[in-house]
Amino acid sequence: MQKNKTHMEKLSYKISSNPPLYLTIGFMVLILIGGFILSLPIFTKSGKPTPLVDSIFVAASASCVTGLTTVNTFEHWNTYGHIVIILLIQIGGLGVMTLATLFSLILRKKIGLKSRKILKEQLNIDTLKGIMKLFKYVLTFTFIVEGIGAMILATRFIPIYGRLRGIWYAIFHSISAFCNAGFDLTGDSMYPFRNDLVINFTIMALIVIGGLGFMVTAEILKKKSLKKLSVHAKLVLIVSLSLIVVGSLVFFFIENQPGGVVYNEGFLNSLVQSTFQSISARTAGFYSVKHDKIKDASALFLIILMAIGGSPGSTAGGIKTTTFGVLILSTISIIKNEDEVVVFNKHIDPKTIRKALAIIMVYIGLIFIVIFLLSITENFSVIDISYEVTSAFATVGASRGITGHLTSIGKILLTLSMYLGRIGPITMAYSFGLKSKTKYIRYPEANISIG
């Protein structure tokens, strides 16, 4: 018994002293617990148990703030099921360490160094300085923004669904949007409200704010001047705004043609719906047009937006806006034959560029592998499978309607994709000790012809 206890203590120490491993296992435990809970019959409207492969899929989607689901959220789950899902979304959006730290703060317990290191990893920052102040800001900011979003949405939902149901719908969709999850209780996402400007702009605002990253929003509120922002914050804002504008215009011009999904919606509604898709496709998964009806050109373009995703330290997934921005800047620098990559009069460390390249290569590799496997196991077009897989890896949640028709193997592969996409392949590599070792030998330079 003593030996087992010692072994468990060693295992616990190993996990707690390795922040990436803690987060990797933490999300896995959250998904499994959520999956087993949702499999119980008391959480379904029919009173029948949910197959474990489906309940774990939904739990993974909620915990990884993705939004893909093999069953219709409104039709399949009852109110208790919806509460479990929104709790998984909130915990997953803020991070698995958030709940433990929150309880410690409520009980007025001291937050130790190990917990601070895990929070640092979770919030994706480089220093422990001011970590608890930032953590408290994250919680406060999250609940305030979600609260404001819920109040605005309630003004539209209460007249439609009644007071209690309207308030519940407002809270659910506000949390789902801010956490970039994309789960809905309408049964058809935002399609029934595609021409409601209040609902559309509120959901879009929540998605954007949640996807910018807590460090960036903290800077904006503190410095209140774009000129005083850090290079990171400026790059996040510029890339995010550029993607929203370009994505909106491209989708509008493709789908505002005869046969397009926004062709008969009128100019203003077509533009709003196009902007909604541009914002949501990068990270959230809500839709105000039928994705299975969009043209293949639009689907391919949205796949690119999904892969890029949101920003570091946010509730969003994808390779991240800064990773994309760094590689664009690096490419421009090479074309100009410059010695170093410069942005806002500051140069970017070559290690950052190599990390950005590694992240993109790993994402492309993993996405291709899963697309290849699903092309063998599933009977759908490659464009539909590519859309689904990219959506899962980037924790977006957009689908062309094939999720519920996947085989068990397909569902398992997408569950793993969502999990990997949420914690990040690089983080998983770090969690199992795959870190670089210091080299004290410098090798001769290799001559390799490129291009």
Note the pLDDT tens digit of each residue in 228-244. 898 999 999 999 999 99
pLDDT attached to residue 1 = 47
Long-range contacts of 344-349 (CB under 8 A, 24+ apart): 344/231, 344/234, 346/231
Which residues share a beta bridge with 77? 44
**In this structure, what is the dihedral angle of CA atoms 343, 344, 346, 352, given to the nearest 10 degrees?**
-40
pLDDT attached to residue 128 = 60
pLDDT attached to residue 99 = 63
pLDDT attached to residue 228 = 83
The conformation of residue 44, written as its DSSP 8-state character, comes to: B
- If we measure between CA atoms, which residue out of 339, 308, 301 comes closest to residue 326? 308
CB 123 within 8 A of CB 135: yes
The conformation of residue 399, written as its DSSP 8-state character, comes to: -
The amino acid at 29: V
Please give the Cα distance from 442 to 288 (Å, whole number). 56
DSSP letters for 318-386: SS-HHHHHHHHHHHHHHHTT-SS-EETTEEPPHHHHHHHHHHHHHHHHHHHHHHHHHHHH--S-HHHHH
Residue numbers of the chain with a pLDDT score lower than 70: 1-20, 96-131, 425-440, 449-451
* Torsion sign over Cα 183, 283, 233, 95: positive
The conformation of residue 179, written as its DSSP 8-state character, comes to: T
pLDDT attached to residue 422 = 84
pLDDT tens-place string over residues 14-73: 555 566 677 778 788 899 999 999 999 999 999 999 999 999 999 999 999 898 999 999
Helix (H, G, I), strand (E, B) or coil at 258: coil
Which residues share a beta bridge with 256? none
pLDDT tens-place string over residues 89-125: 998 887 765 666 665 555 566 666 666 666 665 666 6
CA 142 to chain centre: 15
pTM (two decimals): 0.88
Phi, psi (deg, nearest 5) at residue 191: -60, -40
pLDDT attached to residue 167 = 97
